[in-house]
Amino acid sequence: SAKMRIAAALASAAARDGVLLQGWVRTVRRAKEVTFIALNDGSCLDGIQVVIEPSLANFAELGRLGTGACIEARGDLVPSPASGQQWELRAREVRVLGEADGDYPLQKKRHTLEYLRSIAHLRPRSNTFGAVFRLRSALSFAVHRFFQERGFLCVHTPIITANDCEGAGEMFRVTTLDPRRPPLEKGDVLWKDDFFGEKTGLTVSGQLEGELFAMAFSDIYTFGPTFRAENSHTSRHASEFWMIEPEMAFADLAADCRLAEDFLRFLVRYALEHCGADLAFFNERVEPGLIAKLETLAEATFETLSYGEAVAALKRSGHPFEFPLEWGLDLQSEHERYLTETIIGGPVFVTDYPEGIKAFYMRLNDDGRTVAAMDLLVPRVGEIIGGSQREERMPVLLERMKGKGVSEASLGWYLDTRRWGSCPHAGFGLGFERFLMYVTGMENIRDVIPFPRTPGNARF
Ligand code: 4AD
Ligand code: MG
């Protein structure tokens, strides 16, 4: 018999004899004459129903199988008389590969997301997390597809680095374990200092290295893990998250915004085309109206407001914010939400932020007090993209570095691009988890990454 994934078997749209399916038991239902096993191998949301008749030698044993057991079933794919499923597997032989007893933590009832987070090693076997991680996988592929189709070079930027790109002091430090003290105990006596004598940390962004590659390959992108030592306990911050960072030579802020818009529309369209069943699940269980929202987004042009206009609109609204806003202050999440959810009613680019609240590498505007920055804010999640046109003029760049206390000596390699063959360029970073929150409707960043790393959460 032909070994198949359940999704492929269901998609084959024809009755066929001799199919071998393998997976994990979701439920066992004993009727008078037959036993039904709901089986899933992760390839699709619903899995398949396996029909077990008393003629099978181990009929009684199979009726006692617990949720979570692993089996393989040989049989025939036949039209299902039950509603809601087109095909079922009439089993001829079922082997139990791994049993599961009543202690299996993922029983049939609906569990809370908090509980499922506490069993992050088993939650991918649930419907919700099956859908989340299938979507995450499909969209990872779509990210590469978008950029590769447009001729962007994929560059793997380093994870261990000496530069703090954002200058926010949020780096985790890298040290080495002392090999002469093998037993791992409490305290940090086991750690030797530094990266073989150099002070390094985990990267907060691949941008600076990405810029160097854009100065050679014109259009590049990175897609990798980044780390932020923010001790924030919010639903949208993680210590480890994945970021996509395109960088384009010969591009300004407007081109940067157009790329971001095309990119998001492409990803949303890809999800609608390839992940329909999973999105329907989110639409029904997680965020009512999700699919309609995504269909709109797939065709949308986003609104653009300058930071000055955004601040003015927020002040004009008269809304009683917890942190009152003044020109020069950063937008807090309450401002981002009010702007996107109430004032705009959708995603919005906010551009040209005050120089004082943005990183050293952003290009100074002619007014001398704002920079060519853009953030894309979306309802519910807030900022999902941060980007800018880069400062390509050496004297201006040096001045801004001085103003922000960024050491020139440590960034000599970066400054070389301004010394030799500098050109206008721009890029942005999309937080992959923030984007997944927007596309799935999931409300906590811990629920869109397989093993979340947040303060107090490094176990699995
Ligand atoms: O705005 P950020 O800090 O920008 C940069 O890192 C630039 N170097 C990007 C660039 O221009 N190449 O981060 C970019 C995005 C944010 O908009 C947000 O979506 C996400 O990364 N992000 C986080 N996601 C999860 N947890 C955190 N702690 C995050 N910090 C930023
Ligand atoms: Mg930002």
Give the CATH number, domain containing residue 210: 3.30.930.10
Could you give the 3-state DSSP secondary structure of residue 100?
coil
In this predicted structure, what is the pLDDT of residue 179? 66
Ligand 1 pocket test, candidate residues 213, 239, 241, most atoms within 8 A of CB: 241
Alpha-carbon gap, residue 164 to 210, rounded angstroms: 14
Q: Quick one: pLDDT band at residue 365, thresholds 50, 70, 90? A: very high
Stretch 110-139: mean pLDDT = 96
Instruction: Give residue-wise pLDDT tens across range 59-93.
Output: 999 999 999 999 999 999 999 998 888 999 999 99
pTM: 0.96
Torsion, Cα of 227, 380, 337, 143 (10° steps): 50
- If asked whether residues 176 and 42 sit together in one domain, one would say no
Strand partners, 153: 220
Share above pLDDT 90 across residues of the chain, in percent, rounded to a whole number: 88
What domain range is 395 assigned to?
124-447
Q: Quick one: pLDDT band at residue 186, thresholds 50, 70, 90? A: low
Q: What's the structural domain count of the chain?
A: 2
Instruction: Give residue-wise pLDDT tens across range 141-176.
Output: 999 999 999 999 999 999 999 999 998 889 999 988
Q: How is residue 389 written in tokens?
A: 């046109």
Is 423 contained in some domain? Answer: yes
Alpha-carbon gap, residue 151 to 220, rounded angstroms: 8
Burial of 395 (0-12, 13-18, 19+ CB in 10 A): exposed
Is 458 contained in some domain? Answer: no
Assess whether the C-beta atom of 47 lies below 6 angstroms from ligand 1: no
Instruction: Give residue-wise pLDDT tens across range 283-314.
Output: 999 999 999 999 999 999 999 999 999 999 99
Is 373 contained in some domain? Answer: yes
- If asked whether residues 139 and 20 sit together in one domain, one would say no
Instruction: Give residue-wise pLDDT tens across range 411-436.
Output: 999 999 999 999 999 999 999 999 99
Strand partners, 425: 249
- If asked whether residues 75 and 139 sit together in one domain, one would say no
Alpha-carbon gap, residue 295 to 439, rounded angstroms: 11
Is 107 contained in some domain? Answer: no
Nearest CA to ligand 1 atom 31: 431
- If asked whether residues 168 and 290 sit together in one domain, one would say yes
Each as own residue / partner, the long-range contacts of residues 139-144 (CB below 8 Å, 24 or more positions apart, any chain) are: 139/267, 139/270, 139/271, 139/432, 139/435, 139/436, 139/439, 140/223, 140/432, 142/266, 142/267, 142/270, 142/271, 142/274, 143/223, 143/244, 143/267, 143/432, 144/223
Alpha-carbon gap, residue 46 to 9, rounded angstroms: 13
- If asked whether residues 231 and 372 sit together in one domain, one would say yes
Ligand 1 pocket test, candidate residues 434, 446, 454, 457, most atoms within 8 A of CB: 434
Residue 178 has pLDDT above 80, yes or no: no
The terminus-to-terminus CA distance of the chain in angstroms comes to: 38
- If asked whether residues 326 and 381 sit together in one domain, one would say yes
- If asked whether residues 44 and 144 sit together in one domain, one would say no
Q: Which residue among 47, 63, 98 closes a domain?
A: 98
- If asked whether residues 136 and 56 sit together in one domain, one would say no
Is 91 contained in some domain? Answer: yes
Task: Report the CATH number at residue 11.
Answer: 2.40.50.140
Is 113 contained in some domain? Answer: no
Ligand nearest to the CA of 205: 1
Nearest CA to ligand 1 atom 25: 237
- Phi first, then psi: give them for residue 355, nearest 5 degrees: -55, -40
Is 454 contained in some domain? Answer: no
Q: How is residue 56 written in tokens?
A: 């099978």
- If asked whether residues 327 and 365 sit together in one domain, one would say yes
- If asked whether residues 159 and 214 sit together in one domain, one would say yes
In this predicted structure, what is the pLDDT of residue 15? 85
Pairing of the two strands 240-249 and 160-161: unpaired
Is 108 contained in some domain? Answer: no
80 touches 73 (CB < 8 A): no
- If asked whether residues 145 and 81 sit together in one domain, one would say no
- If asked whether residues 147 and 235 sit together in one domain, one would say yes
In this predicted structure, what is the pLDDT of residue 166? 92
Assess whether the C-beta atom of 206 lies below 6 angstroms from ligand 1: no
